[in-house]
Structure 1
Amino acid sequence: MASLILTLVGPDRPGVVRQLSEEVAARGGNWLESRMARLAGQFAGIALVAVPRAELAGFSEAVAAYQSGGLRVLVQEGSAQTVSIAHTAFQVELIGQDRPGIVRDITQALANRGVNIEELTTDVLSGSFSGEHLFRAEIRLRAPAAEAVDLVREDLERLGNELMVDIRTSEPDDGTE
């Protein structure tokens, strides 16, 4: 089986995921993981699927035909490279008044400490009492070592004060049980 990463963008309509999942199943493949959303009237997503190697060309050709319906699908074969076992996972939750540059500032602090983002989910909400826009982010991270988590916490605490946002971090998980 080949691991394929599918990136999807196109006009939102019912049945987009069904159509793609039927193509995966018809080729003897398996849908493994995905993140999909409606953004600004468009459907956008990323999926990890496994398809038998003998079906790769046919699968890629079939999803390329979706272009005529306005859905762009980029098919990228995943690598067999494995992630290093030495890591420390943790999560960050952030909420505060929305303003340009929040994602840039947070991700810069993470990158400066060698911390990798495994998953980032953001949205803008209307404050329940004030009606002002609130920015919310949930971030799943992987640090090179437990010491980096403490440094990132300090950096984020300072940054939270500057940005006037509340930031909470989870206790690190070193991957051992």
Structure 2
Amino acid sequence: MSTPKNYLVISALGKDQPGIVKALSRKILDEGCNITDSRMTVLGGEFAILLLIEGPWNTLAKLESAVPELQEDLGLTIICKRTEGKVRSSNLLPYMVEVVSMDHPGIVNQLAEFFSERDINIEDMVTNCYSAAHTGTPMFSVHMSVGIPSEIHIAALREEFMDYCDALNLDAVIEPIKG
């Protein structure tokens, strides 16, 4: 019988500076834990990181107890939470959604509303504002991964989504994630 895996989610936020990832990953390694999933970005002048850490129960506890010192040393606000491993549902189909439009308030909310009303989970999302080439028009892009329940008719969903996006003047693509 295999030992159940233990997981800890760490969220950290603070002024962007070189060496944050090195210091966090070193502490995690020194405590005998492993980073199994992560997201990192700079938003404005702030560095934000989400880490899924795996390790024996006692090493995760040691890492949790080191958080106050890490916060002080790195100037970060750190939150830790124990969690379980992700359970992959065999009835969810992984799809990628890409949306681009002129920037205006409410795009994320509109997309979230569309998927939420159909019980489709947004599993990952990245948004970005940029200036269009040649014109400098403020643009907005969204890239997300969603889990579509297998009982949903994909062709009908795709048509409904494309009509929804057309009505909002959003250029969109929804495709299966391959691999």
TM-score (norm 2): 0.89
Structure 1 CA distance for aligned equivalents of residues 69 and 155 of structure 2? 49
What stretches of structure 2 of length at least 5 have no aligned partner? none
Give the Cα–Cα distance (whole angstroms) in 2 for the partners of residues 145 and 172 of structure 1.
14
Quick one: distance in 1 between partners of 2:168 and 2:76?
Answer: 38
Asked whether 1:134 is paired with 2:135, we answer no
Q: CA offset at residue 118 of structure 1? A: 1.3
Tell me the C-alpha RMSD between the 2 structures: 1.9
Aligned to 2:159: 154
**Contact preservation (8 Å) 1:86, 1:145:** yes
Question: 2 CA distance for matches of 1:152 and 1:101?
Answer: 21
Quote the Cα distance in structure 1 between the aligned partners of 2:55 and 2:106.
Answer: 39
What is the TM-score of this pair, normalised by structure 1? 0.90
Shift in Å, 1:158: 2.2
Within the candidate set 8, 11, 14, 1:7 is matched to 11
Match of 1:30 in 2: 34
Give percent identity, aligned residues only: 28
Q: Partner amino acid for 1:168? A: V
- What is the Cα deviation at residue 80 of structure 1? 4.8
CA contact (8 A) 1:109 1:152 kept: no
Report what 1:73 is aligned to. 78
Q: Which residue of 1 aligns with 2:171?
A: 166
Structure 1 CA distance for aligned equivalents of residues 117 and 45 of structure 2: 35
Stretches of structure 1 that go unaligned for 5 or more consecutive residues are none
Distance 1:52 1:118 in 2: 26
How much has 1:56 moved relative to structure 2? 2.4
SS of structure 1 residue aligned to 2:160: helix
Give the distance between the partners of 2:129 and 2:23, measured in 1 at CA: 30
Q: Distance in 2 between matches of 1:170 and 1:78?
A: 30
CA contact (8 A) 1:113 1:151 kept: no
Q: Please state how far the C-alpha of 1:64 moved relative to its aligned partner.
A: 2.4
Aligned partner letter, 2:129: V
Which stretch shifts more, 29-38 or 82-91?
Answer: 82-91
Q: Classify the secondary structure of the residue corresponding to 1:67.
A: helix
Q: Confirm or deny: 8 A CA contact 2:6 2:84 kept in the other structure.
A: no
Instruction: Specify the code of the residue in structure 2 equivalent to 1:45.
Output: I
Deviations 1:26-72 (A, max 9, x none): 01111111110000100011111112211222211212222224201
Partner SS, residue 88 of structure 1: strand
Q: Which moved more, 1:42-51 or 1:95-104?
A: 42-51
CA contact (8 A) 1:87 1:145 kept: yes
Corresponding position of 2:124: 119
Which piece of structure 1 moves more, 150-159 or 29-38? 150-159
Distance 1:97 1:67 in 2: 39
